[in-house]
Chains A and B, each alone.
Chain A
């Protein structure tokens, strides 16, 4: 025991540390905790890269895509990778935080509630950048992919990343509230994500999709993230292959922007610090 070195308590305590400072500290803890979980590294972070490697190796020259398979699949898989690290990561992580008492414990401290979300935002931004860098590196270094060279293309990649990851993060947090347990969250999150991957032009081009499937998929962010990424990566003549017959970046921005707002509203309406059992 070293009770004699106790710091005396002042009569009126200063205000608790601010949301930004605590939020940055939480972000750092989130990143380090994520890095210690090999499951999350494999299933959330590396899966898109594995899929890219398989597609680039197996499908090259198998169909007439007008370009190498790696170039053809890269933009869609980047969009999918971003949704994976935002929607899937948060949908499962927030449900786990709720079920295993992380949220309960945090509620018992003077941590500002917004610091929790700032921490998750930092985690998703970190993972999003990491995801894009990993996919571009593998595609560029091992498969000689044609990466964008114009500043305009990189700006497009930047804002599609930000808007897409934000919208998908909020949607993921909202989905976590639907799940009654952390285990259920995996199903609640992974199944819709898988459906969207097959209907949003990631694996199968949108041109090949029946209208009703396309209409359904266009209600969700992944289709628009893919279209935005293709606009940045593909030559302009490929624009005619899109559902609307053009890149229509204003529609991409509008759809993703709406998802940010809708996701925020859903999150605010559904977010719970407790499980249902906690009453």
Chain B
């Protein structure tokens, strides 16, 4: 990893007598797409809002773009883009006017029309925000998050409530931003979103990190034992193995050809994920 954009040590946030964030260590490199994945109430948004400089932390150290986000000033904010989790009101003016107005806050803003084109709102440039669909509204949020040409972009649950097609289109937009070199910190509770977009996924639950890895490697997924099941003499048989190909070859020889009801199963990301967060799932947190 080259330059570090976010460095966090023992980050904590306490509300009353509960730790919403209970000691997090992280390091995120320039150009990385880093995803926080976890159930609602896991501490994802709290962590991200501390890194955005919006929430004060109770303990630990945090450095974002070389500065403490809790004390960073306007010059730092000009380098950071934020797409908030909650829908936040924008002035009731045509899309182009809104993007142009926000561009005026930044020292080196991008061309508003180029950004509107990039997020796919060209045809809606003259529409007021109230006339946009949920997906279009979120695209406007992204446009406002990137019009200042941020080095670091926070996306907090950007596709909640999207239909599958809108979500796929949105992912393309995020990928094109990542290809342009923007460091992206994505918060989501959709597994497939983290898997589709992230270079690294950080599973967070109960305010603690459960695992950080490439989606394909998460929780020892790549090296986990495969489960081979088949039917033999009318009974269901099962074995766990590091070498499923050899197991299947041996079975084929022993059973002479086709193996009845053969299945080879490796843990899915979902199984790994549910296993990682099972310690502290309470009923109201089960949503994903």
Contacts and interface: CB of A to CB of B under 8 A. Distances in A.
Interface in A1-54: 1-3, 5-7, 9-10, 13-17, 21-22, 25, 29, 32-33, 36-37
A213 B79 CA distance: 56
Specify the main secondary structure of chain B where it touches its partner: loop
A5 B149 CA distance: 13
B79 A33 contact: no
B171 interface: no
Given A13-B75, A105-B84, A279-B15, A2 B118 contact: yes
Contacts of B101: 25, 29
Given A6-B110, A13-B79, A111 B105 contact: yes
Interface residues of A, number: 37
A105 B144 CA distance: 9
B15 A101 contact: no
Interface in B1-40: 15
**Range of interface residues on chain B?**
35 or more
B90 A105 contact: yes
Nearest to B49: A278
B84 A9 contact: no
B54 A108 contact: yes
Contacts of A22: 104-105
Specify the main secondary structure of chain A where it touches its partner: loop
A33 B84 CA distance: 22
Interface of B: 15, 52, 54-55, 74-75, 77-80, 82, 84, 86-93, 97, 101-102, 104-108, 110-111, 114, 117-118, 128, 144, 148-149, 151, 176, 179-180
The 5 A-B residue pairs with the shortest CB-CB distance in the complex, in nearest-first order: A101-B88, A100-B89, A108-B82, A110-B78, A110-B77
Interface of A: 1-3, 5-7, 9-10, 13-17, 21-22, 25, 29, 32-33, 36-37, 96-97, 100-102, 104-105, 107-112, 274, 278-279
